C-alpha cells in the first residue's frame, strides 16, 4: 500500500480530564497517514480519484474542535473511525494526536497517542 500523509494539523479544543482544560481549552496537533492505492490518481492527475486533503483536515477538525472528551485516546480513536467511514479509498489509517501542553509537571514536548486501524474495524 502507498501512504498519504497529512501532517501538523493544528486545532484548539476543550478536551481533558481536568475542569480547567474544559473551560480554558488548549492546542492539539494531529498527523494522519492513510494507506491506499495511489496508482489511479497518480496516472489520472484527477482529484476525484483520490482523497481530498482538505476534507481530511475538516474531518480531523470536527473531532478535535468538537464535543469535549477526557482522553487523547478518545480523540485519536474517533478520528480514525471517521476517516475510515468517509474515505472509501483508505484501507488503513494511522492517527497521532499530540497534546503539547498537558497540565502535568515537567518540561517536555507534550504527550501523544498514535493508533493504526484497518478498514472493517470501525464496524465492530
pLDDT digits (tens, 9 = 90+) for 51-61: 999 999 999 99
Beta-ladder partners of 94: 33, 116
The DSSP secondary structure of 89-123, one letter per residue, reads T-SEEEEEEEESS-SSSS-SS-EEEEEEEETTGGG
Strand 92-99 and strand 26-36: the pairing is antiparallel
Catalytically annotated residue among 3, 61, 96, 99: 99
pLDDT tens readout for residues 87-107: 999 999 999 999 998 888 887
Q: Worst-scoring range by mean pLDDT, 9-18, 21-30, 103-112?
A: 103-112
Which CATH number do you get for residue 41? 3.30.1130.10
DSSP state of 26: E
Active site residue 99: yes
Q: Rounded to two decimals, what is the model's pTM?
A: 0.92
Find, among 92, 89, 101, the residue nearest to 25 by Cα: 101
Number of domains in the chain: 1
> Range of 100's domain?
2-123
16: left (phi over 0), alpha (psi -120 to 50) or beta: left
Amino acid at each position: 500500500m502507498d501512504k498519504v500523509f497529512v501532517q501538523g494539523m493544528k486545532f484548539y479544543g476543550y478536551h481533558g480530564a481536568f475542569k480547567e482544560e474544559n473551560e480554558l481549552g488548549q492546542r492539539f496537533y494531529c498527523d494522519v497517514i492513510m494507506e491506499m492505492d495511489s496508482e489511479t490518481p497518480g496516472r489520472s492527475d484527477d482529484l476525484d480519484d483520490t482523497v481530498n486533503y482538505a476534507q481530511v483536515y475538516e474531518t480531523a477538525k470536527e473531532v478535535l474542535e468538537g464535543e469535549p472528551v477526557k482522553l487523547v485516546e478518545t480523540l485519536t480513536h474517533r478520528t480514525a473511525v471517521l476517516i475510515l467511514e468517509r474515505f472509501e479509498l483508505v484501507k488503513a489509517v494511522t492517527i497521532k494526536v499530540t497534546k503539547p501542553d498537558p497540565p502535568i509537571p515537567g518540561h517536555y514536548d507534550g504527550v501523544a497517542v498514535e493508533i493504526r486501524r484497518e478498514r472493517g474495524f470501525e464496524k465492530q
